[in-house]
Each structure stands twice: as C-alpha cells, then as structure tokens.
Amino acid sequence: MSTLHSPLHDQHVALGASLVDFAGWEMPLRYGGDVAEHHAVRRAAGLFDLSHMGELMVRGADAAAALDYALVGHMSRMALGRAKYTMMCAPDGGVLDDLVVYRRDWDHFMVVANAANRVQVAAELQARFDAAALDATVEDETQSIALIAVQGPASAGIVARMCGGGAGDVDPMRYYSGVNLLLEGGIHAYAARTGYTGEDGFELFVAADTAGDVWRLALREGAAAGLEPCGLAARDSLRLEAGMPLYGHELSHDTTPFEAGLGRVVSFGVSGGPDRGDFVGREALARLSEEGVAKTLVGLVGDGRRAARTGYAVTDGDDNQVGIVTSGLPSPTLGQLIAMAYVPTALAEPGTVVGVDVRGRREEMRVVALPFYQRDA
C-alpha cells in the first residue's frame, strides 16, 4: 500500500518539517524542537495537522440505535451538536479502537477513528449494523476532509480571529460540542471544542481542498499570540502529561476499558431509568464491572535521569516483573520523569514504589493518580 499524504503535505515541506511514516501516512514529527513545540501549546497555542485521523460518516433512520449497538456508549442520548468519547469493543470486552463521535444531525453522526484502525472500524461498524438489521450506513470520507487543530490557552481568540474577529460563535462553545463556522475567505468548517493535549482547543474539519488556506490563516492570525506549528512528538508528550491513552500503547484488544481506568465510558443504562439494551461486548464488560480487574493502568513518576520507555518491565520489590510501561518520557512541563504502565491492581495505590528496568538497571518510580498535568479551570 502506498503512503498517504495529508492535504497539507506541501505546507509541512515548506516549513522544513521532519516527516515520518505514521499509520501509513507521511506526517510531521516536528518542525523545530519537540520541547519548544510542547511549551508553545501549554503557554500559548499550537497548530496540528490531524488529517490522518479517520472520518467515518454514519447516516440512516436507525443511525443512533445502530451506534448504541456497535459501541459501548449510549449515543442515542447525545444532543445535536455534542460529541462523546467512546470505544468499540470486541465481544470479549477488548478495545478495538477508541473514538470520538459527533452528532451532526438526528440521523447523521461522524465517527473519528485512529488512523491505523480506520478501515477495520468502518468495516466492523457496517457489519454490526447489518447483523442487527438496522437502517444505517458507513461512508469513509477521510481523504476528502482535512482536520486541523488549534490547541492551547490562546486557541479561542485565534479561532475567533480566523472567523473575522467575532468571538460570538466561539466563546459560548462548551467542551465536547461542535458548531458550523464560516472562516475568512468564505471557508466552511465544522469546529469542535475537543483535543488531545490537555488544553483548551478546537479541531476544525474542513474540505481537503481548502486545507492550505485554513492552515495559512491560522498561522497568520495566531502569530501575535505565539502559535507554533507542532508535530507528532509534541502531541505525544502533551497527551501523556494529560494522562490520555494512545491506541497501541495504553489501549489494545488485550486491554479493556475497566483495566484502562475508563470504565466510565461504558454505559449499561441510565441510573433509575430504562436499560439501554444490548451492545457488542456487554456481557463481558458487565462481568468485569462486577468482578473487578487484575491489572490497572497507573501513572508513574520518578526523579532519576533515565526515562522509562514503552515496553520496559515494571518490577516489584524483589525485582520480579509484574507489569509493563506503555508510554514514558521526561515531562517538559513538570520537569520529572513520567510514564503510564499496567501493574497488578494490588500495586495501583498512589504512593506505591515500583521499579522499572531501564536497560538492565532498576530505576525506582512511584505510583500517582492520573493525569499528571491538569490545566487551570
């Protein structure tokens, strides 16, 4: 399969980005320095190309009921213009992908999937709709849509200026909501107050052929506020500080929402109200909810100099391996080593000291509650 290019590929080349293969797409890893890009988002704003993410349109008279059956969240309870973080699970409760679903109309939802899972998610959604004999179809519109994110404390003002200066459509937006915006130059965008950085921010879904104009507009209107273009490296360090899972690291078919500390996204029904009905994985997930789990995703912090990295062994006091690091790096914001790891639930209590085997040497780290970083309200 040939490598896919973002509609913004030429913009990245012009800015001197370091490009890498990511889930079959050539995407910017960084433009200058990882740490500088990370700090720009925490202190002002960063501009990200997320066009590798999958945009799957679900339409039909039974679209809401179909997503209720296919996913672990109660999608039919979403109001128009709202978004919800959810998951697609296998019958055994393992996570096939984590998703954000946007309700564009009463019979139209947009499901945003991870790039590496897009094709599988689209096929599995349609198979589940058909198996339940529900009137809903899935269309993969990824390559006709560009996704551009403006993230950081200055993001609302930047997006308002991209609309010609009026903040009337931007300021009132709630977290995890979306509206149609008209950007300068008559460009239409679906703007959602969502993101993957732990900061306030907006994700702009625009037609692929307008992506270059939107990117340049953001750079122009954000320059005075300190906006910087940011790559995948900064996105990863930002999401790790915010304790946000990454599929293929914290989430996989071998993990369940409850093990990942995300049992809250699984809806069995409204408290005191009617049961929501069957969904794929319900039986297995209900059992886990009642019985508990043997392993738990935790945060780890350390004061050493050698970072715990993905795949490193977590050990107990006797140096027996008891878990594994899923993500880890030196935190630019906090100035200490951080990691996420799966450990036995008995070792998941904050303050517990564990070891991490860093290239044959034990480095002590302590368990902390996630997230590591949380912005001021």
Q: For the chain, which residues make up each domain, given as ranges?
A: 1-245, 263-368
Decide if 235 contacts 196 (C-beta within 8 A): yes
Instruction: Please give the pLDDT value at position 275.
Output: 66
Q: Which residues have CB under 8 Å from 51's CB, separation 6+?
A: 6, 7, 8, 25, 145, 146, 147, 148, 208, 211
Instruction: Please give the pLDDT value at position 1.
Output: 65
Instruction: Please give the pLDDT value at position 175.
Output: 96
> Which residue did the predictor score with more confidence, 377 or 43?
43
The domain 263-368: what is its CATH number? 2.40.30.110
How far apart are alpha carbons 7 and 92 in whole angstroms? 38
Decide if 181 contacts 86 (C-beta within 8 A): no
How far apart are alpha carbons 261 and 243 in whole angstroms? 11
Q: Which residues have CB under 8 Å from 88's CB, separation 6+?
A: 70, 71, 72, 95, 96, 97, 99, 121, 124, 125, 280
Output the pTM of the full model. 0.96
Decide if 373 contacts 241 (C-beta within 8 A): yes
Burial of 271 (0-12, 13-18, 19+ CB in 10 A): exposed
Which whole number is the average pLDDT over 220-225? 98
Give pLDDT tens digits for 162-185: 998 765 678 889 999 999 999 999
Instruction: State the angle between helix axes of 211-222 and 155-162 in degrees (0 to 180), rounded to the nearest 10.
Output: 120
Q: Reply yes or no on whether the pLDDT at 120 is more than 80.
A: yes
Which whole number is the average pLDDT over 133-146? 98
Decide if 263 contacts 290 (C-beta within 8 A): no
What number of other Cβ atoms are within 10 A of residue 303's Cβ?
Answer: 11
Q: Which residues have CB under 8 Å from 65's CB, separation 6+?
A: 76, 134, 136
Q: How much of the chain exceeds pLDDT 90, in percent? A: 93
Tokens 């460009």 correspond to what residue?
A: 187
Q: Reply yes or no on whether the pLDDT at 274 is more than 60.
A: no
Q: Reply yes or no on whether the pLDDT at 270 is more than 80.
A: no
Q: Which residues have CB under 8 Å from 197's CB, separation 6+?
A: 41, 46, 151, 152, 235, 238, 239, 242
What mean pLDDT value characterizes the chain? 96
The domain 1-245: what is its CATH number? 3.30.1360.120
Would you give the DSSP letter of residue 363? E
Q: Reply yes or no on whether the pLDDT at 22 is more than 60.
A: yes
- Residue 351's pLDDT band (boundaries 50, 70, 90)? very high
Q: Hey, is 40 helix, strand or coil? A: helix
Instruction: Please give the pLDDT value at position 38.
Output: 98
Q: Which of 222, 229, 211 is nearest to 161 (CA)?
A: 222
Q: Beta strands 25-30 and 45-49: pairing type?
A: unpaired
Token duo for residue 317: 């006091």
How far apart are alpha carbons 87 and 16 in whole angstroms? 36
Decide if 260 contacts 97 (C-beta within 8 A): no
